[in-house]
Amino acid sequence: MPSLFDTPVAAPLAERRRPRRLADYAGQQHLLGEGGVLRRYLQAGRLPSLILWGPPGVGKTTLALLLAAELRRPFAMLSAISAGVKDVRDVIEKARKQSGTILFIDEIHRFSKAQQDALLGAVEQGVVTLIGATTENPSFEVIPALLSRCQVYTLEALGADTLREIVHRALIEDEVLKKIPVDVVEDHALLLLSGGDARKLLGLLEIVVQSTAPDPETGRVQLTDAAVQQTAQRPIARYDKGGEVHYDVISAFIKSIRGSDPNAALYYLAVMLEGGEDVKFIARRLLILASEDIGNANPNALLLAQSCFQACTVIGLPESDLILSQAVIYLATSPKSNAAYTAIRAAQAQVRQQGVHPVPPALRNAPTKLLKDLGHGQGYQYSHNAPGNFAYQEFLPDALSGTRYYDPGDNPAEAKIRERLREWWGEKYEY
């Protein structure tokens, strides 16, 4: 069994309470419950390379340890914060002599491209089974070549019932805490301040229990919201960028901008900034919104969002708050259109349903005499040779002629686009 299970009594409570068996693992029933994909892998006695994506303190490291233990596989662990390419190669060389090695890389999003490239061959050849853990979206932080060789599974912030069970078991099973008589009078503050993070929950629980004087009459420690808040020295309502509130606030932030309410959007921006949210995360969401919710109703929105992202990347906090404020106000007060979003989704859906239709011969490339003799490029009209730089001709495959994906939004800018399309195409697309 991996050595990380061997925990001294002097270690923090979160380490002492790290589950030794999969049966003691808390949460993530969508992966480990009856019919869960990871449970099915274990039942089959195999495990693919995978990325565990989720907020802090939900059990990514513990899950990797338990998967290796359940399968009785050799286990190696690297931290992306301290490991270099040489460390990766050393582990791979040792793994060649230990069949079935599971390599766990914590915070894999911090690995450079060179470090991730060093893993590719070993993962592809099955020299190691990679388990990467990340709090960041792997689509942005893991190179595509490595991502394509891994299954990505999302771990969720722990719910209230799961957190209560963790507290209950810690109080009755931990070698240190079980010696202290505790009455859980209130747990609202404890659960809320943990933000779905079991590590934070147990750390706060340990400090509160050990620093709260017993009740003079009963001799028992009273675990109350007031005791938790006094120990934590922060109000209950504080934003936790790693917990469930994170997802609620960013959702409200985006919906406020989409709903054209700059005041609400600025409030949620302030909540995130005061809570220590990554400014690049916020700016990245503004980039997506600029196309998804504004689009060609105001093309400058995307340009401003891109400038905002670049400026936040260069400047960072605290000055980025001004740049984000300007961008948020601009986007919230801009005309809205989701026409670009619905257009590409409609086109993608048709490609998935019908496959790819042949390109019309007139539009095909004709770099050789043979292809020209086969009719490639014949009949194509060069638009710039036509009056107004427009020549009426068919660009879609025959089977899709007349299909309309883009429907301009109801706003002044796209009203002009609709008028122009109607002038060009007449009744063809029914604009």
pLDDT tens by residue, 32-42 = 888 888 888 88
In this prediction, residue 239 carries a pLDDT of 57
430 found inside a domain: no
Contact between 36 and 63 (Cβ < 8 Å): no
If you ran DSSP here, which 8-state letter would residue 359 be given? P
CATH number of 168's domain? 1.10.8
30 found inside a domain: yes
Using 50, 70 and 90 to split pLDDT, how confident is the model at 233?
Answer: low
- Domain limit, last residue, from 97, 130, 154: 154
Provide the percentage of residues in the chain whose pLDDT is more than 90: 28
Could you give the CA distance from residue 136 to residue 176 in angstroms, rounded to a whole number? Answer: 35
Could you give the CA distance from residue 158 to residue 38 in angstroms, rounded to a whole number? Answer: 18
If you ran DSSP here, which 8-state letter would residue 293 be given? I
**Sign of the CA dihedral with 323 first, then 329, 330, and 336 last:** positive
The per-residue pLDDT for range 134-191, each reduced to its tens digit, is 888 787 778 888 888 888 888 887 878 888 888 888 888 888 888 888 888 888 878 8
Contacts 24+ apart (CB under 8 A), 187-190: 187/223, 188/225, 188/236, 189/225, 189/226, 189/228, 189/229, 189/232, 189/236, 190/223, 190/225, 190/228
Residues 21 and 134 in one domain: yes
In this prediction, residue 337 carries a pLDDT of 95
The per-residue pLDDT for range 301-313, each reduced to its tens digit, is 999 999 999 999 8
Contact between 133 and 60 (Cβ < 8 Å): yes
Could you give the CA distance from residue 402 to residue 394 in angstroms, rounded to a whole number? Answer: 9
CATH number of 259's domain? 1.20.272.10
Q: How many domains does the chain have?
A: 4
21 found inside a domain: yes
If you ran DSSP here, which 8-state letter would residue 357 be given? P
Contact between 240 and 285 (Cβ < 8 Å): no
φ/ψ of residue 8, rounded to 5: -70, 155
In this prediction, residue 1 carries a pLDDT of 42
- Domain limit, last residue, from 139, 154, 169: 154
Indicate if the pLDDT at residue 234 is higher than 80: no
Residues 134 and 184 in one domain: no
CATH number of 392's domain? 1.10.3710
Indicate if the pLDDT at residue 235 is higher than 80: no
Residues 127 and 172 in one domain: no
In this prediction, residue 2 carries a pLDDT of 44
Cα Rg of the chain, angstroms: 28
- Write out the H or E segment, with its range, that includes residue 51: strand 50-53
Residues 325 and 210 in one domain: no
In this prediction, residue 240 carries a pLDDT of 56
Domain that holds residue 20: 3-154
Residues 187 and 61 in one domain: no
Residues 35 and 146 in one domain: yes
- Domain limit, last residue, from 137, 154, 171: 154
Amino acid letter, residue 103? L
